[in-house]
Structure 1
Amino acid sequence: MLGAGTQSNPYIIQTAQDLNAIRNNLTAYYELANDIDMGSWGNFTPIGTSSAKFIGNFNGKGYKIKNLTINSTTAYVGLFGFTENATIQNVAIENANIVGQNVNYVGILAGNITNTTIKNCYTTGNVSGQYGVGGLVGWHYSGLIENCFSHANPTGRGRVGGLVGNGATSNSLVNKCYSTGLVTVTPDPNLYNGGLIGSHVDPTKVTNSYWDTETSGQTISAGGTGKTTTEMKQQSTYVGWDFTSVWGINNDYPYLQIFGVPTRQPQQQTITIQSYINPIHSKTSKTNKSTKQTQSFLNAIQTLSERHTGTKRTVMTYTLPIKTSVQKQNRSVRSAIATVNTYINPIGSIVERQTKTIKQLLSYVDNIQSKVNIITPLQNKAVNGYLYVLENPSSSYFIEHNSNTYAIKNPSTVEVIN
Structure 2
Amino acid sequence: MTNLKLVDVNIKGSNYVGGLAGWNSGTMSNIYVTGSITGVTKTGGLAGGNGGAIANSFVAGSITGSYTAGGFVGENYGPIDQSYHTGSITGTESVGGLVGENNAPISNSYHTGSITGTHNVGGLIGDNYAPIDKSYAAGSVTGSSAAGGLVGNNYATVSDSFYDSETTNQSDTGKGIGLSTLDMGKQSTYAGWDFTSIWGDKRVRQ
Quickly name the TM-score band, shorter chain normalised. 0.7 to 0.9
2:38 is matched with which residue?
A: 99
Q: Deviations over 1:203-244 (max 9, x none)?
A: xx11111111xx223543145431343333332333443322
CA-CA distance at 1:178 after TM superposition: 1.1
2:9 is matched with which residue?
A: 68
1:90 is matched with which residue?
A: 30
Q: Which amino acid in 2 is paired with 1:164?
A: V
2:22 is matched with which residue?
A: 81
Contact kept in structure 2, 1:235 and 1:249, CA below 8 Å:
no
The structure that has the greater radius of gyration is: 1
1:111 is matched with which residue?
A: 48
Q: Which amino acid in 2 is paired with 1:105?
A: K
CA-CA distance at 1:249 after TM superposition: 4.7
Q: Deviations over 1:365-400 (max 9, x none)?
A: xxxxxxxxxxxxxxxxxxxxxxxxxxxxxxxxxxxx
2:132 is matched with which residue?
A: 206
SS in 2 for 1:242: coil
Q: Following superposition of structure 1 onto structure 2, how do residues 7-156 of structure 1 map, counting pairs within 5 Å?
A: 58-60=1-3, 64-72=5-13, 74-78=14-18, 79-84=20-25, 86-94=26-34, 96-100=35-39, 103-114=40-51, 116-140=52-76, 142-156=77-91
Give the alignment partner of residue 190 of structure 2, picking from 235, 238, 252: 238
CA RMSD of aligned residues (A): 2.1
Contact kept in structure 1, 2:121 and 2:141, CA below 8 Å:
no
From the superposition, tell whether residues 251 and 107 of structure 1 become closer, same or farther in structure 2 (CA, over 3 Å). Answer: closer
Q: Which amino acid in 2 is paired with 1:247?
A: W
Contact kept in structure 1, 2:122 and 2:141, CA below 8 Å:
no
Structure 2 residues without counterparts, runs of 5 or longer: 143-147, 165-179
Q: Which amino acid in 1 is paired with 2:121?
A: N
Structure 2 Cα separation of the partners of residues 165 and 155 of structure 1 = 11
2:162 is matched with which residue?
A: 225
Q: Which amino acid in 1 is paired with 2:90?
A: T
CA-CA distance at 1:77 after TM superposition: 0.4
Structure 1 residues without counterparts, runs of 5 or longer: 1-57, 255-418
CA-CA distance at 1:107 after TM superposition: 0.3
Q: Following superposition of structure 1 onto structure 2, how do residues 4-403 of structure 1 map, counting pairs within 5 Å?
A: 58-60=1-3, 64-72=5-13, 74-78=14-18, 79-84=20-25, 86-94=26-34, 96-100=35-39, 103-114=40-51, 116-140=52-76, 142-167=77-102, 169=103, 172-185=104-117, 189=118, 191-202=119-130, 205-212=131-138, 215-217=139-141, 219-220=148-149, 221=151, 222=154, 223=158, 224-227=161-164, 228-249=180-201, 253=205
From the superposition, tell whether residues 178 and 231 of structure 1 become closer, same or farther in structure 2 (CA, over 3 Å). Answer: farther
Length-normalised TM-score, structure 1: 0.40
CA-CA distance at 1:88 after TM superposition: 0.3
Structure 2 Cα separation of the partners of residues 180 and 99 of structure 1 = 19
- Which structure has more relative contact order (CA 8 Å, sep 6+)? It is 2
From the superposition, tell whether residues 66 and 234 of structure 1 become closer, same or farther in structure 2 (CA, over 3 Å). Answer: farther
Contact kept in structure 2, 1:162 and 1:216, CA below 8 Å:
no
Structure 2 Cα separation of the partners of residues 93 and 123 of structure 1 = 5
Structure 1 Cα separation of the partners of residues 74 and 84 of structure 2 = 14
Structure 2 Cα separation of the partners of residues 83 and 161 of structure 1 = 19
2:176 is matched with which residue?
A: none
CA-CA distance at 1:247 after TM superposition: 2.7
Structure 2 Cα separation of the partners of residues 229 and 248 of structure 1 = 20
Structure 2 Cα separation of the partners of residues 138 and 201 of structure 1 = 14
CA-CA distance at 1:253 after TM superposition: 1.9
Contact kept in structure 2, 1:135 and 1:181, CA below 8 Å:
no
Contact kept in structure 1, 2:112 and 2:205, CA below 8 Å:
no
Structure 2 Cα separation of the partners of residues 231 and 249 of structure 1 = 19
Contact kept in structure 2, 1:234 and 1:251, CA below 8 Å:
no
From the superposition, tell whether residues 244 and 109 of structure 1 become closer, same or farther in structure 2 (CA, over 3 Å). Answer: same
Same amino acid, percent of matched pairs: 34
Give the total of aligned pairs. 177
Structure 2 Cα separation of the partners of residues 77 and 106 of structure 1 = 5
